[in-house]
A and B are shown apart, each in its own frame.
Chain A
Amino acid sequence: MKLLRGFPAMALSVVLLSIVGFFVSQESVGLLLVCGALAAMSWYITEGPRGRSLPRWTSNVLVLAVTINVFVDFFQHREDVLGVLGRFVVWLTLIKLYERKVSRDYAQLLSLSMLLMLIGAIRPGSLVFAAVLFVYAALGLYVLLLFQLYASYERAKEARLSSIPSEYRLTPSVRPIIGRGTALQFRALGSGIGIAGLVLSSFVFVIFPRGMGECLVRGLHVAQNLRVSGFVDEVNLTTGTRITDSRKAVLNLRLFDKDGRPVRFDQIRLRGAVLDAYESGGRWVSSPGRPQRVVTTQPAQFAPLGAVAAEPSSLSITQEIEMLSPSDTLFSANVPVSIATDEPRQLEVDPQTQTIKNVGGGRLWRYSIETQPAPSDATLANLAGAGGGGGGAGPGPSSDSRMALFDPRLQRLAREVITSFGVAAQAPREADERWRWNREAARRLTRHLQSGEFTYDTDLRDVTLATVGGRTVDPTVQFLFETKRGHCEYFASGLAALCDSIGIPVRLVAGYLAMEYDDASQQYVVRESNAHAWVEVQTGSNRWTTFDPSPPRRLEEIHGGSPSFADRLRWLFDRFEARWEVGFVAFDQNAQTRFVESFDRQWSPRLGGAWAAVREWAAALNRAFYLGPAGYIWMGIVGLALVIAVIALVKLMRRSLKTRMILRLAHFRGAEYQRMLRQLGFYLDMLNVLARAKRAKPMWQPPLAYAADLGRDRPRASQLVQRITSVFYAARYGQQRLTRDEVRRVGSDVRELASALSVKR
């Protein structure tokens, strides 16, 4: 009863958890506080000392009002159907919480709570939601089990009470009928079911095929990742007006110096794609048709990326990258000079941009790249190949604009900015001076963009592209002169546009900014939220210098960490969240493949090794006893005999245990016990025969009474059972020792019984 009394409180906890879970998935703290408080209050109001509940008519009116509200809500938030549905379910749940509750109401409440969690789960799962879901699943299981008992009890009680005629004065008992140790056994069974469920669900989770059937119904497809942060090898400023962080880990990066010691920097820019062509409308792409160099790699061997091997440098750094999410683009910090992969691969290297792509097929999970932070001109020339130069700029400085931007304001602004910092407005003619001017001008323009006049913002949903004279204003121009708000791609495009307007060769680089260093594993964890864009300006015939116009403080906030206590907590949380996302949320077809491969890698050698060891041991044994070729046959026979012996022993032990239990021989000891075990097996055989004939003797029925029952349709079998039973009684209770003949006779009776009941022995 105590078990059942706790049910309403447990049910309320589950409902509360589902409300919390839903609002966590919605990231709506305000509604969580309001609805959570209302739900919690319902306990005191309905179940408290002066418990009151809503009359049915009131709750019906409220349900009607909520239903009308859901339509209004839907028309206001058409894009958020799940949110609308979820809020509707929350209101329904709250109304039900304030109603008088019988088992049917509890069933509805639990169903609503389940629906809430399902709606919450359709949204991208955060770690907090996952934690709530896990607790909900555990508690929900317990409550569900309890509900079965509670509902049945309520139903039984109601049925019994309502069946009593009104004039009948005595009321039969309505207490539940229970055995001993109910609560303990219930919890133990619940735990067992929970563990079995966890194992089975994990199994289903792992083996369920992924990557097929996505977007079967587009209308119902909820983008798994509404967060658009992440690496792309082209940039379009007009898409993705809101960038939200995806904490999905992309790769792990380790850096080593020349001597193999781990190296750590504040931030590492991993170059992925170099985009050197800007099309009007805010789209950056790689200019096509550039010559590529094909490099074939071998495991653990560094292959040079240049025409010949790069000359060694004392500052060279080796980066080891472990891809967590596969990509054909290889990332490298600084200038890559050689590469090694964990499996043979065919790579394509762009000599002008030093970007690398995997083109030979097959996924690349690990690779190492040797880079040089400050490469010499010779190294750069080697990498660029014979006659290679700065993209389309040629071997010397060029003032041709490569960006399709024709706004005179750009050049005016750029000149104003650089002259305000004391840099000449016009580029010098002499090459070296020109490269230096390029660097200085780019630096001043970068500082201008970081000056505070421009705001770093990832939510640009309120920004719309203006039109002037029927033509849409370029987003970069709008950013520079009107909105002055944007994210890294806007800042990079703005700097590129300004540089380009005064003839500085410039290109946009897309990649990752690695700032999150994990001290424990001594590696950078790079996530999709670390995706970044910056600019490279040509400052030498083959040299390009990096300029990042995004405000460094904002970058630090977004990509890095701070040492405060709260941030440390945040870091801890992030670690858990990263594990959750990498291990669970990002578990896809590739992860399945990796899982199977790792399983295979781990177990195949072990099993193979064990088999080899057995064979070796057998061979050694054969040699030791000079058994010759026939020795293996003998060993096989001995092994088989051992197996049979073990099986027989187990069967014998089980039989004696069963005999001991059924014949109640627990208080017999020594020879008498052995005699009983030896002689009374026939009774057990008889019971087995009866069970196999589907005429099992009930435990409660004495054998002779059972025989009498059996005699109604099987007289011969009944006689045999009586005869066997009388022998059994004599031996078991009459202290009579059976002779061999008697044992043989009763054995034949059992066989006859089997044939009488058509049981094959």
Chain B
Amino acid sequence: MRTLYQFHGGIHPPTNKTQSNATPIAGAALPSRLVIPLHQHVGNSARPVVEAGQHVLKGQVIGMAEGHLSSAVHASTSGTIAAIDEQLVAHPSGIPDLCITLIPDGQDEWIARESCEDWTTLSHSELRHKLRAAGVVGLGGAVFPSDMKLYSHKQKIKTLVLNGAECEPYITCDDLLMRERAADILQGAEMMRALLYAEEVLIGIEDNKPEAIAAMRAAVAAGGHQKMDVIAVPTIYPGGGAKQLIRVLTGIEVAAGVRSTNMGVQCFNVGTAYSAWRAIRFGEPLISRIVTITGNVAHPQNFEALIGTPMNELVAQSEQLAGTTNYIMGGPMMGVPMPSKEVGVIKATNCIIASSDAIFPKALTALPCIRCTRCADVCPSELQPQELYWFSKAKNLDKAEDYHLFDCIECGACSYVCPSNIPLVQYYRFAKSEIWARDAGKKAADAARERHEFRESRIEREKREKAEKLAAKEKAAQEAKAVQPAIAPVKPDADPENTLQLKIQTAIDHAKEQAAAIKPKNTEQLTPEQQAQIDDIEARRARIRELAKDATPT
């Protein structure tokens, strides 16, 4: 038996999973249209490479990965591009984003796919390139481009953690995927292990999913996978958060702002492993995913839904009931309300809950905080949520940062247990955005000040140079006058041209001295190699920043 570790706190909300996990994954009907956002992943938005009116095939690239951190977007079925414009997307802000609208032609005709019998024949960079081109991103919710998480070198990463915990109530998409497609998930895991040079693969599944655990264990045995363990972990929210699962399985605590790979662990969602495998083995880009439809519907279940499927068309297949107010994407703890019921399913859509007043009653009026610290008792990041609340409420942002506001993973456990019904997480989101805004403002002000100072110094320098040039000229002229008679006896045939040359030479020397006096900045006059190095460092930094964000519980 493997020793499991614990993380602090956690809660046991009603799981509400049995409604949707009793029926197998169903294929979803072809929708009337697909609205596919070009920005479904962390990083740069994909660049549209099709035109309105163009006919596309299923799996054809419609948005090209742009820049270092980005991912491709594909046509989920064959059909005609109706529009490329801004539409509402599956984001709570309700801010429209660039989308490609595709009207299916009903043929569902695939583009030529490049399958690969044996991925071990491919180089690591080829594999990563293929994953990027296939639009494979983290399906646990963070949607971070997977190729960027599969860089490593030997002896760096010991453990690959596969996250099948699925701790959020209501969601069962990973559960069903593991039950039905365990072998494919494990193939994907093998590939990831090779890319990361990881020794062992630990697959964490919460013990409220015995069928999935059994299916995965059977697949490990059947596939002859070595050093691959399917581990039942205790059901406790947010045990499926990457940091929490890594802690439970390995005992390692990955602090905020630290990459788990620096501590020898990398973590992927089981769905991501599955999609990565389909992409390499069968050349299928990420154009569909398993989505749990649950809540106020007659038949909650999981669908394999095309990316871009309007949510209401998908929910209709589970028979939406009267009283549905709106849709929540994700679970009840960390899910986000949708700005409209028609927004398209995206790669991050693991679950759609049709919400009603009965399922999620309106929040009660909050009482003042009575410092009972039930929030601190359940906080998996071991923060003092009550302190963060006071600081956030008072806009005491520095203090909030001192008390580790940015270690908060917004799991909502504190709000869940608060007897005063204070929407704590909302306060933390507010404080974080205030700090970001403040820092951005500070940056802009700094940049403006630098620009201003640079301009001032340039004007100053130019003035000085002019004056010095003038002085040099006069001095040279005077020297020439003074020198001439003295030299005259020695060099009677002194050419007036000599004086002129002397003047010019003096001026040039002065200018050189001037130039030397103004020290160049260390970022100027770089060799191309240096510039490349800097670019590389910047790219890595961007990746680290994104990875730090990539730790949201599933």
Q: Do A and B come from one complex?
A: no
Measuring CB to CB, which residues of chain A are less than 8 angstroms from any residue of chain B?
none
Binding site for A on B (CB under 8 A): none
